[in-house]
Chain A
């Protein structure tokens, strides 16, 4: 029985899992799903992931949600090179520290920017007030500052000389607001240098392939059927604007 991974590359956590599996030559059946089409709410998908989110993994009978859990599982099962999730106690702790912090920081603020700048106004037809937008930008900048000042500092990668899951998870999240037209690397030369290093380590081709959908988002949203997004509307507005 094969390894199936359910992915929509608009989603940051799907990109990190995709890149990790591909980079490590892990053979898997890439099940492409569309979150905008609402596939995560189908009965079929509910059997794979009750949490109704992507990514999801199905390894034989074993189903697993949450990108961080999925990557730790794959790293262990396929004995990926140590630098991804080092066995060394303190290095591993540094990776774990970042993977934990990012949920309510860069991930949350980067996602919000993407929704605020692009999807909510263009696909849901709802205006974001200047105050809310400014706060969202401030929050993202605060997270990026912490990323640079605490997690990166003067190291090439988060943990040191080598790329790890921390850098991978960081980069896919930071690319999300870029997809909405916000150049987060402008005036952040250190961040930009780190991004270039990460992209080179992953491989330009794989990195660009994974980010193709999100970097084309501004065009895609023009062809999005607002009627299809109606069922998302109350949930999204409640989540982001209440």
Chain B
């Protein structure tokens, strides 16, 4: 039975898993999950996991959620090159440190800006208040500053000379707001240079392939007009704004 990966490339953690599997030539079946249609709340997906999130890995009977866990599992199982998740104690700790920190920092703030710029206006037809938007962008900027000042510094990649899971997870999260037209790399030469390095290491073609849908997210309004608005989205928006 082949490895199955349940993915929607609108989702940052799906992109990191997709890229990792592709680059390391890990054969898998791409099981598309349409988040904009609410498929993660459907009966079919519920049989795979009650977590209602993507990505999900299904390796025979073994089902695993959480991109970080999936990446660590694939790295170990397929014995991917050491630099992705080094055996060296301190290098690995540096990767773990970033993978832990990013959840409630770059990931949270990049996602929020993406929702505020790309999704909410598509659903409600109205922009988010300037106050809320400015606060979200400010938080994202603070995270990016920390990323540059602490995690990157003057190194080519987060842990040194070679790319690791840390860079992979970082780049997919940082690309999320970019899809809505917010060029976070503008005015950030260190970040831009790092992005170029990461893109080259991953392979420009596969990087662009992974990011195609997010870079076309301005078609979301038409998508919702055509397919209708899933219930979960209405509820999520309500909660976000009270």
State A150–B62 Cα separation when bound (angstroms). Answer: 14
B67: chain A residues at CB < 8 Å are 100
Chain A contacts of B76 at CB under 8 A? 89, 92
User: Which size bracket describes the interface of B in this complex?
Assistant: 20 to 34
Cβ contacts under 8 Å, A69 to chain B: 93, 96-97, 99-100
B190, CB-defined interface residue at 8 Å: no
A208-242, CB under 8 A of B: which get 1 and which 0? Answer: 00000000000000000000000000000010001
Task: Give the contacting residue for A135; candidates B100, B103, B239; CB below 8 A.
Answer: B239
**What's the nearest-Cβ distance from chain A to residue B85, in Å?**
11
Asked if residues B104 and A103 are in contact (CB atoms below 8 Å), the reply is yes
Partner of A97, one of B66, B90, B103, B242: B66
Please report the C-alpha to C-alpha distance between residue A68 and residue B149 in the assembled complex, in whole angstroms: 21
Q: Decide yes or no: A93 and B73 within 8 Å by CB, A66-B97, A69-B96 being known contacts.
A: yes
Interface 1/0s, chain B 33-55, versus A by CB < 8 A?
00000000000000001110000
Choice from B49, B93, B108, B135 contacting A104 with Cβ under 8 Å: B108
Q: Which residue of B has the minimal Cβ distance to A96?
A: B69
A108 to B49, CA, bound (A): 22
**Contact A77/B62 with A64-B97, A96-B69 known, Cβ cut-off 8 Å:** no
Please report whether the interface of chain A is mostly helix, strand, loop or mixed according to DSSP: helix
Instruction: Determine the distance from Cα of A195 to Cα of B190 in the docked complex, in whole angstroms.
Output: 47
Residue A2 at the chain B interface, CB threshold 8 Å = no
Shortest Cβ distance from B77 into A: residue: A89
A108 close to B104 (CB less than 8 A): yes
Work out how many contacts link A and B, with CB atoms closer than 8 A.
Answer: 87
Q: Which residues of B contact A146 (CB under 8 A)?
A: 50-51
Q: What is the CB-to-nearest-CB distance from A131 to chain B, in angstroms, rounded to a whole number?
A: 6
CA distance in complex: A96, B73 (Å) = 9
Q: Is the CB of A97 within 8 A of B69?
A: yes
Binary CB contact string for chain A from 127 to 140 against chain B (1 if under 8 A, 0 otherwise): 00001100100000
* B residues with CB within 8 A of A: 49-51, 62, 64-69, 72-73, 76-77, 89-90, 92-93, 96-97, 99-101, 103-104, 108, 132, 135, 146, 149-150, 239, 242
Could you name 18 residue pairs across A and B whose Cβ atoms are closer than 8 Å?
A: A50-B146, A51-B101, A51-B150, A62-B93, A69-B96, A72-B96, A73-B92, A92-B72, A93-B64, A93-B72, A96-B69, A100-B68, A103-B100, A103-B103, A104-B104, A108-B104, A135-B242, A146-B50
12 additional A-B pairs beyond A90-B62, A96-B68, A132-B242, beta carbons within 8 Å, are: A51-B150, A64-B97, A65-B101, A66-B101, A69-B96, A72-B93, A73-B89, A76-B92, A96-B72, A100-B68, A101-B66, A242-B135
